[in-house]
Chain A
Amino acid sequence: MKHVDPYRDPALCRELAQAIAKLCRRPVRFMELCGTHTMAIARHGLASLLPPTLEFVSGPGCPVCVTSAGQIDQAVALAGLDGVSVATFGDMLRVPGGQGSLAQARSRGGDVRVVYSAMDAVDLAQAMPGRRVAFLGIGFETTAPTTAAAILRAQALGLDNFSVLCLHKLMPPALAALLDGPDLGLDGFLCPGHVSTVIGAAPYQIAAERGLACVICGFEPVDILAGALMLLRQLDEGRPRVEIQYARAVEAQGNPRARAVMNQVFAAVDAPWRGLGWIAASGLAARPEFASFDAAKVFGLDLSEPPEPPGCLCGQVLRGLARPPQCALFGRACTPESPVGPCMVSSEGACAAWRSYRRED
């Protein structure tokens, strides 16, 4: 792969790794909040460049992983309705709920279509006036504004056959819940670059106040190593704070326009997180003036959470408290072909990343 890319320069990576090794004098644990970081660390084999005393654990940063089983059941129920087409990102197809997955719903005759953006789903609704298109809105603050924009567009087009099943989640309340939960034994967070382009630096302040180093970090190998070095420096200086490594994309105040679109259409509601339970004000729902675009309301779907499958350690894995192979189901009952928990489904999920790219053992 001939990337003449400064963010993949092997000499620079080696230098950074040496600086990290020098500064890492005691065992430290950093959590990457974002699944793209989990994946990048695994894919580039970065663990093999880092000293054994430095450990990265993955957190609840992949929206597929944290979508609750009850929410999947809602989507599956939608796919079973006559005249309804469910439009979804591909990752969601195989996530198991209590009543199976969307892929299974499709094999039973449900009309489930893979789209690549919320706008594609609006186009689909426009192209099929005789059907009702329900889009599964998923993702953190990175994607929620585009779903909001899709609703505004459907409204402007006067479409009455487009709606959104809103599974979007907000990152800051989850971070707060992690911090308020059992002690995670962490020294810092590698904060998600994409989400931060929208929310900015302020939401991580709560972690810094509790003595955890925070660096908002990009996704290339040099970014991640530089981010790790910045985290270690903060610890070394005894001055945990929020820093931005990914300055080429992230501004401290984030993107107020994207937040404004998101807030125009959605309001925060309590939401269930797979493995983490209900978190106050951590989800989004359409505001009353957009109720006609809210699939849960339009189709009268209730949310009931089935019990977690027995033996599943997703909740622990999502908090960085267990490594995927510690789950009794890992690689046995739970594989990427037939996942039990969502962490095995998304390519950014901790268990799938571990499976595909496990480190040298």
Chain B
Amino acid sequence: MAQNETIQLDHGAGGLASRRLLERVFAKHLANDVLAQMDDAAVLAAPGGRLVVSTDSFVVDPLFFPGGDIGCLAVHGTVNDVAMRGGRPLYLTAGFVLEEGLALADLERVVASMGRAAAQAGVKVIAGDTKVVGRGQADKLFINTAGIGVLADGLELGASRARAGDAVLVSGTLGDHGVTIMAARQGLGLDLSTRSDTAPLADLVADVLAACPGARLFRDPTRGGLATALKEIAEASGVAMELDEAAIPIAGAVAGACELLGLDPLYLANEGKLICVAPAEQAQAALAAMRGHRLGDRAAIIGRAVAEKPGRVWLNTAVGGRRLLEMLSGEPLPRIC
């Protein structure tokens, strides 16, 4: 592929150019037996059990950031949503909206990254679609993915299942993704040495479930961060949450960047972390399972669900104070000075 080739409107017109793009980029990196059939729809053997289905669209600026890119994010985001319900992700579909003028090399880098991420997550991309829009009608590249997984019989996990007395765990440091994206955006000439944590979480969920079969729910705190996710869980379950700030893992570089930019790490997005609510007596087992997994080595028990004042999330601050956490409103923005 020539170094400076770009996406043209032709590439989306369904003719020869579309076909060549499909072969040279998509088929090359996402190939598998189902996709190879090149039919209008994929035919899959019914996996048995219940299906878990999720979809999400990915628009991220910049496309490439320390620790990842929009491609692996589009895989991880969707397989993680399936995994949070306890599902084992099997298949993905991928739809692309490309802006005319996008460098073909950038597209290939993104698709290659999706291919690697899918292989790592153990899912096949079984259907896809590409549209090209004129310059200025989209921002470089948008991806929509849908995920399909299977759920073992008897497994019931969900946001409304937390009970007073349960322990609240997180699988690792918070805010890494959010602060990295913020830092990577145009203009911020700072090297914060933070990296996105984007990663597939289904294995981690499986390990925790094996050690802690009574786990009530998993949640990946993406947009809105830990605070927003816990607030939603508290409201859905009719319990309050009490968190210990000193126990919440935050990487040093992230804490430093948050100080600098006036951001609160509890509200920043994560793409490779999960929250688990588990019965108190199984909490240590869940913690050990997380810590035994590559993606959970900084896991921690950060608080508990309590009965009083349902729907609230309290933070016992590291300095001994106490305050309420609310949902994120608006976009987190860095402060002026």
Q: Which residue of B lies closest to A1 (CB)?
A: B250
Does B2 lie at the interface of the complex (its beta carbon under 8 Å from any beta carbon of A)? no
**B-side binding surface: helix, strand, loop or mixed?**
loop
Could you say which of B245, B255, B321, B323 has the most chain A C-beta atoms within 10 Å of its C-beta? B321
A5 CB to nearest B CB, Å: 9
Contact assessment for A360 and B255 in the assembled complex, using a CB-CB cutoff below 8 Å:
no
Q: How many residues from B make CB contacts under 8 Å with A?
A: 35
Using Cβ atoms and an 8 Å threshold, which residues of chain A touch B314? 360
Does B154 lie at the interface of the complex (its beta carbon under 8 Å from any beta carbon of A)? no
Does B337 lie at the interface of the complex (its beta carbon under 8 Å from any beta carbon of A)? yes
Given known A-B contacts A1-B245, A115-B187, A116-B188, A93 and B320 have beta carbons under 8 A apart: no
Using Cβ atoms and an 8 Å threshold, which residues of chain A touch B13? none
Using Cβ atoms and an 8 Å threshold, which residues of chain A touch B336? 63-64, 89, 91, 138-139, 143, 346
Stretch at the interface among B19-27, B145-153, B209-217, B326-334: B326-334
Q: Which residue of B lies closest to A140 (CB)?
A: B337
- Convert A1-30 into 0s and 1s, putting 1 for each residue whose CB lies closer than 8 angstroms to a CB of B: 111000011100110010000000000000
Does A37 lie at the interface of the complex (its beta carbon under 8 Å from any beta carbon of B)? no
Q: Which residue of A lies closest to B330 (CB)?
A: A336
Contact assessment for A45 and B333 in the assembled complex, using a CB-CB cutoff below 8 Å:
no
Does A304 lie at the interface of the complex (its beta carbon under 8 Å from any beta carbon of B)? no
* Complexed CA–CA distance, A114 and B245 (Å): 31
Q: Find residues 18-58 in chain A having any chain B CB closer than 8 Å to their own CB.
A: 36, 39, 42-49
Contact assessment for B322 and A90 in the assembled complex, using a CB-CB cutoff below 8 Å:
no
Using Cβ atoms and an 8 Å threshold, which residues of chain A touch B120? none
Contact assessment for B319 and A10 in the assembled complex, using a CB-CB cutoff below 8 Å:
yes
Write the residues of chain B forming the contact surface with A, with a CB cutoff of 8 angstroms: 185-190, 245-246, 248-250, 255, 262, 264-265, 314-324, 326, 329-330, 332-337
Stretch at the interface among A156-164, A180-188, A351-359: A351-359
- What are the 4 tightest A-B residue pairs by CB atom distance, in nearest-first order? A45-B321, A45-B323, A90-B333, A336-B329
B224 CB to nearest A CB, Å: 12
A26 CB to nearest B CB, Å: 23
* Complexed CA–CA distance, A221 and B334 (Å): 21
Could you say which of A48, A64, A90, A357 has the most chain B C-beta atoms within 10 Å of its C-beta? A90
Does A241 lie at the interface of the complex (its beta carbon under 8 Å from any beta carbon of B)? no
Contact assessment for B329 and A337 in the assembled complex, using a CB-CB cutoff below 8 Å:
yes
Q: Find residues 62-113 in chain A having any chain B CB closer than 8 Å to their own CB.
A: 63-64, 89-91, 93-94, 113
Using Cβ atoms and an 8 Å threshold, which residues of chain A touch B321? 13, 44-49, 221
17 contacts between A and B (CB under 8 A): A1-B250, A1-B265, A2-B246, A8-B318, A13-B320, A43-B323, A44-B317, A90-B334, A113-B186, A113-B187, A114-B186, A116-B334, A221-B317, A347-B335, A355-B329, A360-B314, A360-B322
Does A294 lie at the interface of the complex (its beta carbon under 8 Å from any beta carbon of B)? no
B55 CB to nearest A CB, Å: 25
Given known A-B contacts A3-B255, A337-B329, A10 and B320 have beta carbons under 8 A apart: yes
Using Cβ atoms and an 8 Å threshold, which residues of chain A touch B316? 45
Using Cβ atoms and an 8 Å threshold, which residues of chain B touch A142? 337
Using Cβ atoms and an 8 Å threshold, which residues of chain B touch A91? 333-336
Contact assessment for B323 and A143 in the assembled complex, using a CB-CB cutoff below 8 Å:
no
Given known A-B contacts A91-B333, A91-B336, A93-B333, A13 and B323 have beta carbons under 8 A apart: no
Given known A-B contacts A48-B323, A355-B326, A348 and B335 have beta carbons under 8 A apart: yes
Given known A-B contacts A64-B336, A337-B329, A44 and B262 have beta carbons under 8 A apart: no
Given known A-B contacts A44-B317, A347-B335, A335 and B187 have beta carbons under 8 A apart: no
